[in-house]
C-alpha cells in the first residue's frame, strides 16, 4: 500500500513451496525498483511521481534502476503493460510481477504481486503471470469502487 514516498506491506499469502519469498508485514519498500512499487509509481499523478523519482534512487542490486531518466522511460512501459516486473532489482535471486490497485477516485493506492525465487521463476513465467496479477488488481480495485474505464482499459492491455 502507498504510504508517503514508500510502499508498506499490509498482507501476504505464503507459497506452499519450502523455498519462498517472504514479505514482512509492515515492512517498507522503495517504489523505484520493486514490482509492487513500480506498479503504483507508474500510475501516480505526475507531480507525486516526479517528487519520488527526483529523490534518491538507491541501488540494491546490479539490476536496480538508479537513473531518473531511465526510470521515467521504464514507467511508460509499465503503464502501457499495466504491470511492472522486478527482475532481481530489490534482491538478488527474487523476481516479481506487480499490478496496481486503484481506489474509487482512480488513484493508484496499492498494488498486488506474485513473486518467487529466480531459480524457479524466469522472465517468461512473469509474463505468463502478468494477466493474473492485472486481473487480481482490477478485482480489488472494483471492490474499492474503481470504475474508470480509461485506466481499466490501459491496465488490461495485452502488451
Which grid coordinates are listed for 77? 512501459
Q: For the segment 29-76, what is each residue's pLDDT rounded down to a tens digit?
A: 888 888 999 999 999 989 989 988 987 899 999 999 999 999 999 999
- Per the CB < 8 A criterion, the answer to whether 8 and 26 are in contact is yes
More confidently predicted of 91 and 21: 91
| Residue 29 CB contacts under 8 Å (≥ 6 apart), including other chains | 6, 7, 8, 9, 36, 37, 90
Buried b vs exposed e over 12-42: b needs ≥16 C-beta within 10 Å? Answer: eeeeeeeeebebeeeeebbbbbbbbbbbbbb
CATH level 3 topology of 2-12+20-155: Beta-Lactamase (3.30.450)
Task: Tell me: pLDDT of 92 over 80.
Answer: yes
- In three-state secondary structure terms, 79 is helix
Task: Tell me: pLDDT of 84 over 50.
Answer: yes
CA dihedral 43, 47, 50, 52 (to 10 degrees): -80
CA dihedral 62, 64, 67, 69 (to 10 degrees): 130
More confidently predicted of 129 and 8: 129
Task: Tell me: pLDDT of 121 over 90.
Answer: no
Rounded to the nearest integer, the mean pLDDT of the chain is 84
What is the structure's pLDDT at 29? 81
Task: Tell me: pLDDT of 19 over 60.
Answer: no
Task: Tell me: pLDDT of 149 over 60.
Answer: no
What is the structure's pLDDT at 158? 38
More confidently predicted of 7 and 143: 143
Residue extents of the structural domains in the chain: 2-12+20-155
What is the structure's pLDDT at 25? 65
Amino acid at each position: 500500500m502507498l504510504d508517503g514516498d514508500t510502499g508498506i506491506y499490509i498482507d501476504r499469502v505464503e507459497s506452499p513451496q519450502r523455498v519462498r519469498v517472504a514479505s514482512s508485514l509492515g515492512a517498507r519498500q522503495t517504489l523505484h525498483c520493486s514490482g509492487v512499487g513500480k506498479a503504483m509509481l507508474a500510475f501516480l499523478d505526475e507531480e507525486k511521481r516526479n517528487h519520488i523519482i527526483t529523490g534518491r534512487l538507491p541501488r540494491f542490486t546490479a539490476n536496480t534502476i538508479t537513473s531518473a531518466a531511465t526510470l521515467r522511460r521504464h514507467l511508460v512501459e509499465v503503464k502501457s503493460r499495466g504491470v511492472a516486473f522486478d527482475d532481481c532489482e530489490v534482491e538478488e535471486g527474487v523476481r516479481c510481477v506487480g499490478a496496481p490497485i486503484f481506489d474509487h477516485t482512480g488513484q493508484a493506492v496499492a498494488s498486488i504481486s506474485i513473486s518467487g525465487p529466480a531459480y524457479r521463476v524466469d522472465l517468461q513465467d512473469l509474463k505468463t503471470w502478468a494477466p493474473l496479477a492485472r486481473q487480481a488488481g482490477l478485482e480489488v480495485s472494483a471492490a474499492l469502487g474503481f470504475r474508470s474505464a480509461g485506466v481499466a482499459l490501459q491496465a488490461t492491455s495485452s502488451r
